[in-house]
Every structure is written in structure tokens, then in C-alpha cells.
Chains A and B, each alone.
Chain A
Amino acid sequence: MNDPAVSDPAVQDPAVKDRETRAGWAEEAVRSARPHGHGVTEEQVLERIARARARAPRIRDERITLAHGAGGKATHTLIEAVFLEAFRNPLLEPLDDGAALSTPAGRLAFTTDSFVVSPLFFPGGDIGDLAVNGTVNDLAMCGARPMHLSAGFILEEGFPVADLRRITASMSAAAEAAGVTIVTGDTKVVQRGKADGCYVTTAGVGLLERDVALSAANARPGDVVLVSGPVGDHGITVMLARGELDISADLVSDTAPLHGIAAALLDVAGDGVRLLRDATRGGVATICNEVATSSSVAVVLEERAIPVRPVVTGAAELLGIDPLYVACEGRFVAVVAPDRADAALAALRSHPLGEGAARIGTVGDDPPGLVLLRTGFGGTRIVDLLVGDPLPRIC
């Protein structure tokens, strides 16, 4: 074995010593843990170790590694330091295999949704609030009061922990805004290249407190079709945020929890509401097609009545797509009985998320199964289901 005094280059050449750098993370770790002083006993050191283990773990890694998904110490640290930290609530805190929910006897609504949006962060939101609002909205569209959510994460090796924190922070904020708690979850890590950063799956349960039966099969001739605000903001925002098109626009995603505005509508229009459906993938056009098919009715839309922001119209025009098919994450379509239409529209418009609400069409009896559009030009055409996906991965 070499003599360390001789093999150490810093000793051989003092200039090398000056160039030496230090492992910042290690120095920081030592500083923050406060090194043992002189003259401590083994007993005292063991006590300090026990205290350190009892403290909430802190995640020191800057990037997700496969170890974070291995189920061991690193997974535990990630869960405690990132997820529990962001979502903390009494149901989640025990970190048991599942959350025990107490609910009043009655009906529950249960739904799930996965989110693979690219990019993860876009003007007006990110995959986090999208994942919470998406599931909250699916529950709200059932007429339910959203209660609890689960959150599953598929993370790609190398994903920045800071980004994950940003995502969980906005999930936490969205959950609070929607009055729901995230009570259980799961994390998996896949090798680099096997996923695109971060995918999120949420599921949710909500209480069906109202005696309503909402279904795309309930529409009847004479019913009125309402939309809760301008359509297409989210889809166009995400498309432009990808930067592939070199177009910029003053536009933000419409992602928002819809349980409040949906409740406001149900309060005034009650059993006159046939259907609520949030206009996500496929947009307003797809919902109207579902109504026409399921209820065997014709849906007749007035192009001029459909609220679309000029910037969305412009971008859609450039991309050659129809705003009627572009996804929203904070708008919904309601089909209501004719005698409740005015009250329903007024209720929508008096809610902060429904200022731009509009009456966009009516339900007819012929031709059944078709959605017709009276164009702004004064003609008539079909609005069919879309074939293919003009805007992939927008949610």
C-alpha cells in the first residue's frame, strides 16, 4: 500500500490543493445536521440518531432516480417529503394502504382520469391542477359533491424534484380550492426514455346529495343547449405552449373546478337539467354528438351564438381546426328543459366562472342522431365526431 503522504497530489504539489473543490451536498448535509461535538458519549450519539430518524425526512436529491420507485427508504422519503408535505390531511397521514372514508349513507359517484399533457407547465396551469380539476369536474358533472381524490404518479428517471414539487403544490392548491382532499396515492418510477417526465392519474369519489339523474340519453326535443363560457382556450393554449408553431398569443388555460358553478345551475334548474358534461377532449362538438346519439335527437347549434375568443378563433383558423372540437378544462355543456333555460343561463352568468355562458342551440327531433350547425354564413352543415386527433396530449 502506498504511503498516503506521498500519494496525495496536494501534498506533492500545493497548486493542486488550490484547485480542489468540495462536494457541496456533503458539506451542506454536515452543516445542517450539526456534527457531534468533542466528548460526546456513544449513548448520546445513539440518541441523536434516533431523533434524526424521527424527524420528517428531507429529500436531498435534485432528480428522481429509480431508487425513488423501489419501495425502500428513498420512496419513503419522497412520499413524506414531497407528497405528504403537499397534500397533508388526517386521512392521508397514516400512509396506510388505503384511506378509510366515513360517508353518510347514500349514493356515491366514482371516477378516474389520467393526465399526460405536454408540456407539463403551460400558461394558466400545469398537469397538477389539471389532474385535480379534471377529476373534480367529472364528479361535478355527475351532480356530485366532490370529496376525496387519489393521486398516482408515474415519474421518469431524471425528472427534476423541483418540478414535482411545483406539480404537487398546484395539486394541493387546486384541491383546496375545490374543497377536496387527496387521501391516497402511489408512485412508480420508470427508466429514462420510458415515459415523458411525469404522468398523473387521479380518481375521485363524490357524494350524490341531489336527486338528479343526468345522462346524455335524457335530452328531449325542445331542450336548450348551454355552454358555461368561451370554448377552446385550454387546447389552443397547450398547443401554442409547445412552441412547435412559433405562434404566441395572449391566452391562458381555462382549467378550473366546476363543482361550484354546476351546483349553482342545479340549484335553480333542478330536475330540468338533463345533462352536464365538461367539454374536455373532443370539445363541445363531441358532447353534442353523444347527446344526439344517446337520446336519438337532433342537436341544432347556432355558430354565431357559440362563444369563442377572437385569439382562439385566429389560432384555430391557422391550424385548420374547428374550435368546436378543441378541449376546455373549465367549461361544460348543459342541456336543460326549455322552461328552465333562462333561469339556468342566469345562474351560470352570475357565477364567476360563467360570465361568458351562452345559449348555443336547441334539441330537435329530426334528423335523429345528427348535430347540425347553422353557420354564420347562413348555411347548414353537420358537426360530426372527429376522426383522428388534431391536438394530441393536451390533458
Chain B
Amino acid sequence: MKYVDEYRDADTARALSTAIAALCEPGRRYSFMEICGGHTHTIYKHGLEDHLPEAISLVHGPGCPVCVIPMGRVDDAIALAEHEDVILTSFGDMLRVPGGRGSFLDAKAAGADIRMVYSPLDSLKIARQNPDKRVVFFAIGFETTTPSTAMTILRAEAEGLGNFSVFCNHVRVCPAITAILESPDLNLDGFIGPGHVSTVIGCAPYEYVPRDYGKPLVTSGFEPLDILDSIHRLLRQFAEGRCEVENEYGRVVPWAGNPRALAVIDKVMEVRETFEWRGLGWIPESAMRLREEYAAFDAERIFAVPGVRVADPSACQCGEVLRGLIKPWECKVFGTACTPETPIGTCMVSSEGACAAYYNFGRFSRARVKEATLR
């Protein structure tokens, strides 16, 4: 397929792989975190680690929007959906995320009207078709999807749609990166930076990472060659004694981001003082809420949201996985109590979650497979 196959070429990968190995200092180990769940998915789906020398290990970061939603927010949304006249709309990958008392799918089976949408605008369509119902869109995502939620609210306002609102769970990537950098047990050499988020916010917001924390960051595309190229660029920074923000995804990411998208977010939303993240706890200024002017579209103001707080299950080590302290398979319940069919932690739910990606794609002994296929 044009514009895709070029970024999945095995010969180019092998050449990059050789160049990467040559840049590794003998005896040194490198630990890089890919922040985005989309990158994690790519890494496993294409078997990218087969192209990396043993000295490099990849740590899977918190950039999976459904993975970081705390259970309490799921319960709150279900409470909204249980209103007789409410239709809750959500992206498909959110449906299976477990809350304190089940997932959206469970609530749907019990009678709540919860519908999957592909775009927030689909929710507007549902609102128009059901004037006697109140449609609540469960908005999630990093800055990538925040503009489309904001645009949808502006559209609803322009149309005078009084039966549409948003339960806003939009999060911001930089505070999460900071939380990881502030973690006392930090063991990272650099970051493969967000791709789609950066199309909106640009590269400038990451400049504090090399400046204040001494870690290089390369914003990366989502094709496997993009990720290999980004790893190569990180290593080259070490080799050349540089430490900076680099843009590997220049074909899509402008350095200054997308000013129009940022303006739309700023018009409709403001930064929350603090927000709870699954596994990471409360992070200051890490999420968005609707501005007072758009209160009419804010489910948190329209409804009496219970504000449920659910502690992460004691066996769950999602937080350590999300901070890169342990590999998915090192979690106490990985693959036994916690599987994609019965996820305990959110990292196991979405295909972008580190645990699900490892379980679905990487759950085999590389040494054994190498031996088996050489035979």
C-alpha cells in the first residue's frame, strides 16, 4: 500500500538496525521510553525488537488514553448512562475498560443505552435523532483528540443542540512525562516522543525535558521505520554529545504545532488543577475541563456526577508498568489473573496498552523461536 509499505521495508530496517548497533557504546545499556501507546502497538505488531541489539530495551509509557482512565471515572460515566433519558456515547476501545463495578459493556448488557461511535460528531447525529434523550459523549484522549471534542462542542452550540454534553476526560501529555521524570526510581536514557499529540502541540513544549532533566526526546511517527529511525537519532545524540528535542515526524508534525487546533481547545477548555491517572495517581494540571462559558455542554455541571473514587486493585501493577519500572511480564498477575479477556488493569484492555500488546504479540520466548525457525 502506497505511503505505508515504504515505512515497513525490511531491507531498510536491517540497514538501520546495523547502524543502531554500531552507535551503541560497548558495555553500555540503553533504556528508552516510547510514550505513546500507538508506538507500543507498532513495536509489537511488527516485531520491531528483533531489529534491536540486546543493549537497547524499550519501556512502554503512559500514552494510552484508555489505560490511564481511573476506575472511578468509568463508574461515574456508568452512573450517567443509568439515567433513563441518557445515551452515553464512547469510542470502542473504552467499552471493555473495567470500572469499580464493571465496564461499559456490562452496563450496556444490564440495560444502559451506551453506543459506540467512531467520531464525536457521530454523537451529535445521535443527539439530533433523539431529541427526547440527553446524549453524553465520554471524551477521552490526549491533545490528539481534544480539538475534535472542542470542535464538536462548538458545532453543538452553533446548531443550538440542547441535548448534547461531554463528560470530559481529556489529558495532557507533558505533565505525565514530568511525573515520570520526577519518579525517584527513574531509569531512562531518553524518550521516543509522541507523534499524533505533537501534530497538535508541536515540539516546543518538550524542550524542558532535555533542558531540565537532561534526557533527549525524539518525536516519532508510527510506522516501524519511524521508530527505528528515532532510536537511531537518540543514539546519535549520545554519540555526538547532544541532548535536545528532535523531530523525526516532520512530514506531519510542525515544530509549532497546529495553532488553529490549539485555539479551539483554548476557546472551549481550560486546564484542571489536578486529575487522577490510573496507576500514576493525581497529577497537577494534567487534564482539561470545559470552560464556564460552555457549562451547558458539560456533563459534570449538568448532572450530579457521583465522583466515585476506586483504589487500584492491590495486585495491579499498572502504575509500575506505566512508569517503566517493570516489564509487563514482571507484574504479579500478568497473564494469569489479568488477561485480555479478564483485564484487571487498564494496560491489558486497549490494544495500545503495554500489557495487552505484550500478551497479544510478544508472549513467546525469542530464544526458543529463533532456535525453532533455524532448524
Whether A378 contacts B10 by the Cβ 8 Å rule is yes
Please name all residues of chain B whose beta carbon is closer than 8 Å to the beta carbon of A380 when the two chains form the complex: 47, 50, 364, 366, 369, 373
B8 within 8 A of A: yes
Give the distance to chain B from A388, nearest Cβ to Cβ, in Å.
Answer: 6
Please name all residues of chain B whose beta carbon is closer than 8 Å to the beta carbon of A379 when the two chains form the complex: 46-51, 224
Give the distance to chain A from B110, nearest Cβ to Cβ, in Å.
Answer: 18
Contact with A along B208-231 (1 / 0, CB 8 A): 000000000000000011000000
- From A379, which residue of chain B is reached at the shortest CB distance? B47
Please name all residues of chain B whose beta carbon is closer than 8 Å to the beta carbon of A244 when the two chains form the complex: 118, 122
Whether B47 contacts A310 by the Cβ 8 Å rule is no
A365 within 8 A of B: yes
Whether A245 contacts B48 by the Cβ 8 Å rule is no
Whether B364 contacts A377 by the Cβ 8 Å rule is no
B322 within 8 A of A: no
A184 to B364 CA separation, bound complex (whole angstroms) = 50
Whether B368 contacts A381 by the Cβ 8 Å rule is no
Give the distance to chain B from A86, nearest Cβ to Cβ, in Å.
Answer: 36
Contact with B along A32-74 (1 / 0, CB 8 A): 0000000000000000000000000000000000000000000
Whether A382 contacts B360 by the Cβ 8 Å rule is yes
Q: Restricting to A343-368, which residues have a CB under 8 Å from any CB of B? A: 364-367
A388 to B362 CA separation, bound complex (whole angstroms) = 19
B363 within 8 A of A: yes
Interface SS of chain B: helix, strand, loop or mixed? helix
Contact with B along A301-334 (1 / 0, CB 8 A): 0000000001001100100100000000000000
Please name all residues of chain B whose beta carbon is closer than 8 Å to the beta carbon of A226 when the two chains form the complex: none
Whether B340 contacts A377 by the Cβ 8 Å rule is no
Contact with A along B1-19 (1 / 0, CB 8 A): 1001100111001100000
Q: Quick one: which of B13, B45, B341 contacts A381, CB cutoff 8 A?
A: B45
Please name all residues of chain A whose beta carbon is closer than 8 Å to the beta carbon of B340 when the two chains form the complex: 387
Give the distance to chain A from B103, nearest Cβ to Cβ, in Å.
Answer: 11
Please name all residues of chain B whose beta carbon is closer than 8 Å to the beta carbon of A376 when the two chains form the complex: 5, 8, 10, 46
Contact with B along A197-216 (1 / 0, CB 8 A): 00000000000000000000
Please name all residues of chain A whose beta carbon is closer than 8 Å to the beta carbon of B44 when the two chains form the complex: 381
Whether A367 contacts B368 by the Cβ 8 Å rule is yes
A310 to B108 CA separation, bound complex (whole angstroms) = 36
Please name all residues of chain A whose beta carbon is closer than 8 Å to the beta carbon of B5 when the two chains form the complex: 376
- From B358, which residue of chain A is reached at the shortest CB distance? A382
A375 to B46 CA separation, bound complex (whole angstroms) = 6
Whether A382 contacts B51 by the Cβ 8 Å rule is no
Q: A376-B8, A381-B362 are in contact. Are A366 and B372 (CB under 8 A)?
A: yes
Q: A378-B50, A379-B50, A379-B51 are in contact. Are A367 and B45 (CB under 8 A)?
A: no
Whether A378 contacts B96 by the Cβ 8 Å rule is no
Give the distance to chain A from B336, nearest Cβ to Cβ, in Å.
Answer: 16
A314 to B4 CA separation, bound complex (whole angstroms) = 9
Q: Quick one: which of B1, B10, B351 contacts A317, CB cutoff 8 A?
A: B1
A298 within 8 A of B: yes
Q: A245-B118, A300-B373, A387-B341 are in contact. Are A378 and B362 (CB under 8 A)?
A: no
Q: Quick one: which of A298, A314, A378 contacts B47, CB cutoff 8 A?
A: A378
Whether A388 contacts B47 by the Cβ 8 Å rule is no
Q: Quick one: which of A310, A367, A377 contacts B1, CB cutoff 8 A?
A: A310
**Chain B residues engaging chain A, CB cutoff 8 angstroms:** 1, 4-5, 8-10, 13-14, 44-51, 96, 118, 122, 224-225, 340-341, 351, 359-366, 368-369, 371-373, 375
